[in-house]
Amino acid sequence: MTNILISGGSVAGPALAFWLRRHGFNPTVVERAPALRTGGYKIDVRGAALDVVGRMGLREEVVRHGTDMRIARFVDAAGRQLAGMDAQLFGGREGDDVEIMRGDLARILHDATRDDVEYLFDDSVTALEETADGVRVTFENGPARTFDLVVGADGLHSNVRALAFGEESAYLHDLGHYISICTVPNHLGLDRTEMMHPAPGRSAGMYSTGRSADAKAMFLFSSEPLGYDRRDVARQRELVAGAFAGQGWEVPRLLDAMGEAPDFYLDSISQVRMDRWSSGRVVLVGDAAYGPSPASGQGTSLALVGAYVLAGSLAAAAGDHEAAFAAYESDMRHFVEENQKLAASNLKGMVLKSAGQIRFQMFMLRLMPRLPGRNRMIRRVTEPIRRAATAITLRDYEAASSSAS
């Protein structure tokens, strides 16, 4: 039985563990957080990724936890509505897009694997030493162990990628924007509603899926690279507060609440681009390998599909990792590229550069529901996403499973 260490227990890690178990491998997941991280923001599962979730037998549960968002309202500095957008309007065709909170998806994947996968929380890999028949892994807390293969599923700032491939600056491509998210009190009483206040070069928002007294605040702004220490949260809060100083609507109140938020998050909107996703017995999956950035809206779907293809390729190659990694890369490359392409165009609509652009976008949103050609216009927005989300034909690897164990 092949022993495989997976670093990262969010989406890609547990999904990979699920499929590796299904194919007869023996995965262990190491996660730096002390327990399952259930926080986060809303994410989409689309196209081929929904198919993967269906093959896992989890589709109904994922759909049941869908956010069911109703409307996005755009407001000016005084809180007056500029435009409203029905969430269903751009939501894709019924059944090919599910929006779910990241934490709910992570919990569903963890529940589906916890009984037959070893999870090591509160630990992290510190060194990888490859030998002829395995990888000697040293951990921060636990004793060193040898695994046949090691997978980095540890996100945008992947630890395994740094250890096996070198500095992240060689792979991270900054798209010129930052995103900050945190939990705040739902003081506007929002129910399945998102509010956005667009301003030139920045956009602040707040939404609630209606499931709790909390809401999420979101700050999106364009910026040159900001040099800061990723562990220095106080400095990061200052940077967000500085970027939104003097803004109207509820922004001052949201910035105050951000100061208290337990789950403050700030990161650049960046893409991971690599020529290869494997090196010897080490391979990457999900954001660690090909994070398309939050602006693409496709990171979770790439992670779910990547996990399925990687595990299946290992089963199909009967554990020959070199052949499996080559097949994984060739099956995934086009799909990844198509989805990464979405980010740049989405960003243009998410952060508008001038007051004139904002006025025009708001005018179009108000006009849209009344336009005779509205369905064609909506398709122009949704069709590239649908095409990218389905730009892979999933193989059926089940037949290969029996030969893997």
Ligand X SMILES: Cc1cc2nc3c(=O)[nH]c(=O)nc-3n(C[C@H](O)[C@H](O)[C@H](O)COP(=O)(O)OP(=O)(O)OC[C@H]3O[C@@H](n4cnc5c(N)ncnc54)[C@H](O)[C@@H]3O)c2cc1C
Site residues, ligand X (CB under 6 A): 7-13, 30-33, 37, 41, 43-44, 102, 124, 153-156, 159, 179, 181, 286-288, 291, 294, 297-301, 303
DSSP at 303: H
Q: Which DSSP string corresponds to 320-387?
A: -HHHHHHHHHHHHHHHHHHHHTHHHHHHHHHS-SSHHHHHHHHHHHHHGGG-TTHHHHHHHHHHHHHH
3-state secondary structure of 178: strand
Give me the sign of the Cα torsion angle 239, 241, 246, 249.
positive
| Closest to ligand X by CB, 76 or 174 | 174
Q: Which residue has the tokens 């922004």?
A: 251
| Closest to ligand X by CB, 106 or 400 | 106
Distance in Å, CB of 356 to ligand X, minimum: 28
Distance in Å, CB of 40 to ligand X, minimum: 7
Q: Which residue has the tokens 């590239």?
A: 384
Residues 269, 107: Cα–Cα separation, whole Å:
25
Distance in Å, CB of 49 to ligand X, minimum: 8
User: Closest CB to ligand X belongs to which residue?
Assistant: 299
Residue ranges in 159-298 assigned as alpha helix (H): 159-165, 233-243, 251-260, 287-290
Report residue 399 as tokens. 């037949």
Report residue 404 as tokens. 């893997």
| Closest to ligand X by CB, 43 or 199 | 43
Distance in Å, CB of 90 to ligand X, minimum: 13
| Closest to ligand X by CB, 385 or 404 | 385
Distance in Å, CB of 14 to ligand X, minimum: 8
| Closest to ligand X by CB, 154 or 404 | 154
| Closest to ligand X by CB, 347 or 400 | 347
Distance in Å, CB of 301 to ligand X, minimum: 5
Name which of 298, 313, 274 is nearest 391 in CA terms. 298
